Amino acid sequence: MSIRLALAGNPNCGKTTMFNDLTGATQYVGNWPGVTVEKKEGRWKADKEIRITDLPGIYSLSPYTLEEVVARDYLVGEKPDAIMDLVDASNIERNLYLTTQLLEMGIPVVVALNMMDIVEKRGDVIDVKKLSSLLGVPVVETAAVKGKGTKELVEAAKKAVSAGKLPPQHEFPENIEKALQQITDMIAGVTEESQRRWYAVKLFERDQKVMARFQFSVDTQAKLEAIISAVEEELDDDAESIITDARYQYIGGIVKACVKKKKTGMTVSDKIDHIVTNRILALPIFALVMFIVYYVSVTTVGTILTDWANDGVFGDGWHLAGYGAGAYEEAGSEYETQTAYRDAWLAAAEEGGVDVSAITEQLEAEEPDADVLAGATAALAADASAADIVGTAAFEDEETGTVTEEAVDFGMFETAMAAEEPDPANYGIWVPGIPVLLEGALGGLGIADWLYSLIMDGIIAGVGAVLGFVPQILVLFIFLALLEDCGYMARVAFIMDRIFRKFGLSGKSFIPMLIGTGCGVPGVMASRTIEQERDRRMTIMTTTFVPCGAKLPIIALIAGALFDNAGWVAFSAYVIGVLAIIVSGIMLKKFRMFAGEPAPFVMELPAYHTPTLVNVLRSMWERGWSFIKKAGTIILLSTIVLWFLQSYGWENGAFGAVENIDNCILAGIGNALAPIFAPLGWASWQNVVATVTGWIAKENVVATFGQTYGFAEVAEDGVEIWANLQASFTAVSAYSFMCFNLLCAPCFAAMGAIKREMNNAKWTCFAIGYMMVFAYAVALMVYQFGGLLTGELSFGVGTIAAVIVLALMIYLLVRKPAKADGAEGLRKMSVQA
């Protein structure tokens, strides 16, 4: 027989970790509220007949947030067979508040004392048997992060279901109990007996959702109000506070009887927080941490791995385990020296009037003829005028930049002409790259030219360009997972609350942004944790400003190709995202529909702990796999369409395959849109098309560059140095391009999430429109003002437009805010489309 178990608990109690351990699922684990924003279901690994539902982390069953609504509706409406209530044993008093409410639901309950490993480490003692006796339900010790006690928990829940015994109800003070009994009598005929206690308490608290369910008559409503008011008058407090106080008095007695805490000074977590959450040091420390994360991910370790992926896996190939790579590099360096000798002598000979055309023609050919070259070299040896020619080869030291010159005579030229480019297969164990293997396989099959072009110039060039950045992205995700699992990211939300609150946003708004660093879709969905509708909508509009994993390849490409792989570029992208959120918060809060104080931000900071390898790798893989799946689905389809649009068009008065890429359909689309982006500094059709395809999936920006600029033309030392891409951008225009693509409308999937969360077509269009306008304004100012400073531009119409945009933005930032009465405006925009 199938058994349904609900997993409930406070945020940060280890509930999702427990769910993953029980079911083998890979839900996202984070240290902030709202990670699970809807219920998730799985089956117990040891018995597939047992279904486990992971409810959102909640502090109570009062419907103040969407998470609490989801959890409560499931428990009341679908009524599982039993509830497994996870209690953070290291913060037992706060967690038992939810437990007291769950015990009133009329459903068997088993309490899991989680994080007992932390309690033991502190030296605290909890009398589990006595706690079980006082609560009247089974209590099991667990440590979800280590997989301890999880099996025993489910077995205890199974026994509770079989026994069918409902939890005993704790008693409130006599005056409250009397009122609850009167309310229970009023609803006896319309509710199940097992749930009457819970409904009575909620009616006493004037829970509006429960009130609406019963639809009392005017007389009944008056009678209910009289019962509640009598108690309020007697105790001189409001009904909800009365119940809350009574619960904590009951919990206090239990904790006093069952928990003995070791008297110590500041914990390790407290000592760390004393520094990392310091009012002065907190923000600089966070900035330093993020700089290190992006520096290592994009500039050092990530770049090394990405270069290997681009040059090796998606390039010519690589030496297995690096064996033979050093000798090959030495041989390659020597060949480059000989090539420099050859070119230096030829240049001098041509300038001296010696006929070297036979040699230069062969060297410029796609497949030089060795016999012709040998004959031409021999002919020069017989020419007396050639013997006196001496060229000059220049060599630059990469580390110091020092240039040295070396004289090249005819003998050195002859030696250089005989030099052969080293074959990597002759050094160590050489593994050919995917393009090389496919090229050989397709050549042997004798397939049609168009199919060969589709596979090599379309799919491999596009998808390969994106997948080459996977190592870099995985390194970033590992760092983020480490910061989240150790508990630091929860502190970041606390730190940012102090900053965001000054600009009209709650610290809760930063939580979706943190989640959005992996992917914008769950980031947008996490906005459900924000109670106030205006704050939630503003958070949805700004969440995707923070760079997600899909935008990292764009950042890495621009940093590598135009900024010599500078680490500050990647870090600045993150800073720009946060600043865009702050500036948007200030401006939007000045409008009536967003005006008002931000919602309060209450969050328990989990104790610092050593990240677990399983959680870190799971988090990294889940985020990374999502990126890889996009490459295998959306981006694959996109590259096929782009290949067709790039390969066909109107040439010589007829439609068909084009020889000149500037005549293709894609070029026509890009050229038509180019004037819109010309003031931003990147009006070439390739750059415009890359931006447009980025709205399908941000990874498409790099994939489109891979096709339109030619993946085959990647320089030997990495995909970052694309000669054609460098020719298309200046440093200022490249930074403008990066800013626009980071801040503009996100991918289609994220737009869909925005539509679902807004639940309104007008608000969705407004949100996407705002992102586009804001991104255009920032990119315009970056290029126009940056161009003036570097001398790239002179003062003109574009500069005037940028000055107007800057003036308008400053006005919106400093203007007097509208009154907080925005209800009418919200109602007008909230009408369903």
99 labeled part of a ligand binding site: no
435 labeled part of a ligand binding site: no
End-to-end CA distance of the chain: 45
Q: Are strands 125-126 and 82-88 parallel, antiparallel or unpaired?
A: unpaired
23 labeled part of a ligand binding site: yes
Q: Average per-residue pLDDT in the chain? A: 82
Q: Is the pLDDT of residue 407 over 90?
A: yes
14 labeled part of a ligand binding site: yes
Pick the CATH number of 3-163 from 3.40.50.300, 2.60.40.1840, 3.30.420.40, 3.40.50.10700: 3.40.50.300
17 labeled part of a ligand binding site: no
20 labeled part of a ligand binding site: yes
Q: Is the pLDDT of residue 306 over 80?
A: no
pLDDT digits (tens, 9 = 90+) for 728-758: 788 899 999 999 999 998 887 788 888 888 8
115 labeled part of a ligand binding site: yes
Q: How many CB atoms lie within 10 A of CB 199?
A: 23
Backbone angles phi, psi at 65, to 5 degrees: -125, 165
392 labeled part of a ligand binding site: no
Backbone angles phi, psi at 96, to 5 degrees: -70, -15
209 labeled part of a ligand binding site: no
613 labeled part of a ligand binding site: no
Q: Give this prediction's pTM.
A: 0.61
24 labeled part of a ligand binding site: yes
Say whether domain 174-260 belongs to CATH 3.90.25.10. Answer: no
pLDDT digits (tens, 9 = 90+) for 531-552: 677 888 888 888 888 888 778 8
pLDDT digits (tens, 9 = 90+) for 173-188: 888 989 999 988 888 8
- DSSP H or E stretch at residue 348: helix 325-351
Domain boundaries, the chain: 3-163, 174-260, 322-426, 472-829
pLDDT of residue 721: 40
95 labeled part of a ligand binding site: no
10 labeled part of a ligand binding site: yes
Residue 31 has which token pair?
């240290």
Lowest mean pLDDT among 202-211, 279-288, 501-510, 518-527: 501-510
Of the candidates 295, 700, 663, 656, the residue with the CA atom closest to the CA atom of residue 479: 295
458 labeled part of a ligand binding site: no
37 labeled part of a ligand binding site: yes
pLDDT digits (tens, 9 = 90+) for 22-60: 888 655 444 444 445 566 788 888 888 898 888 888 888
pLDDT digits (tens, 9 = 90+) for 461-511: 667 766 777 787 788 788 878 887 888 877 877 777 777 777 666 667 777
Instruction: With cut-offs at 50, 70 and 90, classify the pLDDT of residue 207.
Output: confident
81 labeled part of a ligand binding site: no
54 labeled part of a ligand binding site: yes
Under a CB-based contact definition with an 8 Å cutoff, are residues 157 and 82 in contact?
yes
114 labeled part of a ligand binding site: yes
34 labeled part of a ligand binding site: yes
Q: Is the pLDDT of residue 830 over 70?
A: no
426 labeled part of a ligand binding site: no
Most confident of the following: 19-23, 710-714, 827-831: 19-23
57 labeled part of a ligand binding site: yes
Under a CB-based contact definition with an 8 Å cutoff, are residues 429 and 362 in contact?
no
What secondary structure letter does DSSP report for 88?
E
322 labeled part of a ligand binding site: no
